[in-house]
Structure 1
Amino acid sequence: MRRWFILATGLTAQATTSSFLYGLPFLIPSLQTDHGLSLTSASVLISAPLLGLLFALIAWGAAADRFGERVVMTAGLALTGVLLLASLALPGFVLLGLGLLFAGAAAASVNAASGRVVLGWFAAHERGLAMGIRQTAQPVGVGIAAATLPPLAHHFGLATAVALPAVLCLLSAALVWFVVVDPPRPERTVSAAVSPYTGPTATTLIRLHTASSMLVVPQFVAATFAVTYLVSARGWNPVAAGQLVAVVQVLGAAGRIAAGVWSDRAGSRMGPMRLIALGALATMVLWGVGDALDLPWLAIAALLSAMVVSVTDNGLGFTATAELAGPFWAGRALGVQNTGQNIAAMAAAPLFSALITAFGYPLALGVAALFPAAGAALTPVSGESAARVDAVEVEVRP
């Protein structure tokens, strides 16, 4: 039972940081209407935490490999909460963005370490399920943000809305310290210490990282502009739009679990991942077509479908990365995986806000559809069966 409590704690930790890292886009309407920022300026501001995140991911992963998951997660969560609260005291949006950047760097600790601790406590035949459950943390966190941040900003102001995820991070730090136990590790050998990026798995890992980064783009286009699209293009109330997005996040969470179970039963992470990429491609195209033809039912249905389909591959990429990298490199490999994904995520908001502003949603969504198409082509389905090693298999203790 211990490993299930650890899984629940890892999920909670990741959800709290996700409510901050990926929930700030729900404040774009408030930043525009209440603070006079343009769509592009607001998008740059809410991308600041992702910039800090990507600079720190590999370093935090290396720390988890060396010092263990419990210490890294606790320190990172506590530091995130403190820095996020401190950033609210800084004058002006430039300094606020700088504070958000450093808070995002601290939050990177959870991305690598929480996945590593889950993978260490579960055997291969149930690892997809466990990682799928853990990966529900992001849609859960985004759902919490969607349901709470817009009304908090509307009724109490921006500072109160941003303070909520800060407090949640501090509470999660205490929870991790008292619940999490580092998983047992096999004895280190000379071969285990060799970088997986110099061996036979190198090409497969690089293709996996690249494909995963491509598949982040439709996910973040949908998540970043869902509320904004419903409000500006379809005339929805911001609170109602946020509530709908929060409900859809539940479906996205269920989709991640289903994808994990699918991969366990199929004995493959990459086969399901390629099919999900093709599904994401279809939703982007249909969203653009629905908007171009002024068919609200099609555009909104495709948008909501994109928010579900585009998130379901994430756990598969993480699980495969750790399995290929092995227990002594899993933290760093997950850091590399997450860095590539967050580079794509960070670029998505300002790039597509500029495209939407200049050319409208249909063309911007057509460009977004190219990324899952590339991801499907790059997913190393054949390379997985040839190069995959069950290097993170450990003795699982109750």
Structure 2
Amino acid sequence: MAIGSGSGGAGGAGSGAGGAGAPTRIAPRSWAMLAVMVFGQASTTLVTATPAFLIPYLHAELGMSLASAGVLAGAPHFGLVLTLIAWGALTDRFGERRVLITGLSLTTLAIALSVCAAIYTSGVVWLGLALVASGAMSACINNASGRLIAGWFPVDRRGLAMGIRQTCQPVGMAVAAVTIPALANSFGIAGALAFGGLLTLVSLVACAVVVADPSIPAKTLAAASSNPYRESWTLARIHAVSVLLVVPQFVLSSFGLVWFVLGFGWSELAAGALVAAAQLIGAGGRVVAGVWSDRAGSRLRPIRLIALACAVLLVISAAFGWADWALPAAVAYVLVSCVSVADNGLAFTAVAEIAGPKWSGRALGTQNTGQFLASSLLPPAVGALIAVAGVPATLAAVAIAPLLAVPLVPSEREAHATATRTARAAR
């Protein structure tokens, strides 16, 4: 998409041609909002990722099958799927600050319930339900943080800002990879879950102190609107692309630890450090991709190249796995993990810009719903496939997803036309 022709973002921030002229100066207050959103989203990412990093503990210590442990790993993502669009609609109606404070308060309460379920109940039913609830409440920040950043940053710096915002996911995953297995071994499931609750509580306090809605209130912007989904298939195609590209991302982050512990005989500490390194490097890759899109004046062209690179690297990783070459496999794993997450910020920004300020909350909710729906369904299926075919064959099969995504990426002309019509309707 030619980003200079976008709608001005979720909060009506100024426009300008991406990649042309001197970058707009950003006020310190905007950077403060961004910092709080990164910490908050990283905290909720750790909350939803915690069950995935409990898989080795559940499998080795409690004798749970990989498929059963995968069900628990997908529980928070299932909760996210149930509420993302609803949280987006609430953000469009009431603004970011109210949604963040309310949602993070409920998230903290849900995590406390999951800790109690881990301590006082047997089996996994009540724990699974509590994990679903924690995921459902934590969804508040996914849409609100995107709208907030799009509203506080102008279009020619929005790719950078959203790229930084998107580092929250790999940072949260990296922290989870390092801390959750160790906490589980020392304090059990309850201790691992409680760590996420503490981070969420800190995020709640930070939001209450720092966050303010963009200058144009969301409830005013939502008073009337032309539905962007009726304008064209552009947003739907971006959603479909993101669902396909989240498949390798989630498989790598959720089962990378399992691959190197069970497949190559690494210690949990060494495998966790590798997964953490991959996530942290991937965080930098998201920022680079955001800057790339600002300078290129396009969010969509980079996505096509990222999808192709991801497919190639998945096949290479699978080949090293079949050859039982641990170190080359580790290098390939880090590279493909980095590439597989680089598209997220670009797609997220494109959706906010195309949807316009009156629909961005719901559009971002729809964007995330598709991704997290895939994430909630993947763990049991992938766990079962790994048990039958092994990790290398699974990685090779997963390479099909980014290849399918390439032709689905909308053309620049289509995205430009949709964004222009949406912006005109929003005036």
TM above 0.5, yes or no, is yes
Residue 189 of structure 1: how far off its partner (Å): 7.8
Residues 1:58 and 1:304: Cα distance change in structure 2 (over 3 Å):
same
Within-5 A mapping of 1:266-277: 266-277=296-307
Counterpart in the other structure of 2:65? 38
2:151 counterpart letter in structure 1: G
1:114 counterpart letter in structure 2: S
Aligned counterparts of 2:88 and 2:100: Cα–Cα separation in 1: 11
Counterpart in the other structure of 1:54? 81
SS at 2:139 equivalent: helix
1:22 counterpart letter in structure 2: A
Which of 14, 20, 26 is the aligned partner of 2:53? Answer: 26
Counterpart in the other structure of 1:122? 153
So what's the TM-score if we normalise by structure 1?
A: 0.95
Residues 1:93 and 1:127: Cα distance change in structure 2 (over 3 Å):
same
Aligned counterparts of 1:186 and 1:58: Cα–Cα separation in 2: 19
So what's the TM-score if we normalise by structure 2?
A: 0.88
Which of 245, 252, 255 is the aligned partner of 2:275? Answer: 245
Counterpart in the other structure of 1:89? 116
Residue 225 of structure 1: how far off its partner (Å): 0.6
Which of 171, 188, 197 is the aligned partner of 1:157? Answer: 188
SS at 1:36 equivalent: coil
The reply to whether residue 198 of structure 1 matches residue 227 of structure 2 is: no
SS at 2:203 equivalent: helix
Contact between 1:192 and 1:326, CA under 8 Å: does it hold in 2?
no
Which of 355, 361, 386 is the aligned partner of 1:356? Answer: 386
Counterpart in the other structure of 1:284? 314
C-alpha offsets along residues 17-45 of structure 1, whole Å, 9 cap, x if unaligned?
00111243111101111111111100111
Which of 402, 421, 426 is the aligned partner of 1:372? Answer: 402
Residue 244 of structure 1: how far off its partner (Å): 2.2
Contact between 1:119 and 1:392, CA under 8 Å: does it hold in 2?
no
Residues 1:357 and 1:258: Cα distance change in structure 2 (over 3 Å):
same
Residue 177 of structure 1: how far off its partner (Å): 1.0
Within-5 A mapping of 1:95-106: 95-106=126-137
Aligned counterparts of 2:306 and 2:77: Cα–Cα separation in 1: 24
Counterpart in the other structure of 1:396? none
SS at 2:399 equivalent: helix
Counterpart in the other structure of 2:25? none
1:370 counterpart letter in structure 2: I
Within-5 A mapping of 1:1-398: 1-90=28-117, 91=121, 92-185=123-216, 193-199=225-231, 202-382=232-412, 383-389=414-420
Residues 1:186 and 1:152: Cα distance change in structure 2 (over 3 Å):
closer
SS at 1:174 equivalent: helix
Contact between 1:53 and 1:107, CA under 8 Å: does it hold in 2?
yes
Aligned counterparts of 2:405 and 2:210: Cα–Cα separation in 1: 37
Contact between 2:112 and 2:197, CA under 8 Å: does it hold in 1?
yes
Residues 1:189 and 1:278: Cα distance change in structure 2 (over 3 Å):
same
SS at 1:89 equivalent: helix
Residues 1:391 and 1:125: Cα distance change in structure 2 (over 3 Å):
farther
SS at 2:103 equivalent: helix
CA RMSD, 1 decimal: 1.8
Residue 391 of structure 1: how far off its partner (Å): 6.3
Residue 297 of structure 1: how far off its partner (Å): 2.9
1:179 counterpart letter in structure 2: V
SS at 1:388 equivalent: helix
Q: Which runs of 5+ in 2 are unaligned?
A: 1-27
Contact between 2:163 and 2:345, CA under 8 Å: does it hold in 1?
yes
Residue 381 of structure 1: how far off its partner (Å): 3.1
Deviating more after overlay: 302-311 vs 96-105:
302-311
Residue 171 of structure 1: how far off its partner (Å): 1.4
Aligned counterparts of 1:86 and 1:26: Cα–Cα separation in 2: 19
Residue 298 of structure 1: how far off its partner (Å): 2.9
Contact between 1:124 and 1:390, CA under 8 Å: does it hold in 2?
no
SS at 1:88 equivalent: helix
Residues 1:194 and 1:392: Cα distance change in structure 2 (over 3 Å):
closer
1:104 counterpart letter in structure 2: G
1:32 counterpart letter in structure 2: H
Aligned counterparts of 1:261 and 1:59: Cα–Cα separation in 2: 31
Residue 158 of structure 1: how far off its partner (Å): 1.3
C-alpha offsets along residues 75-107 of structure 1, whole Å, 9 cap, x if unaligned?
111111111111221212111000000110000
Aligned counterparts of 2:343 and 2:133: Cα–Cα separation in 1: 28
SS at 2:135 equivalent: helix
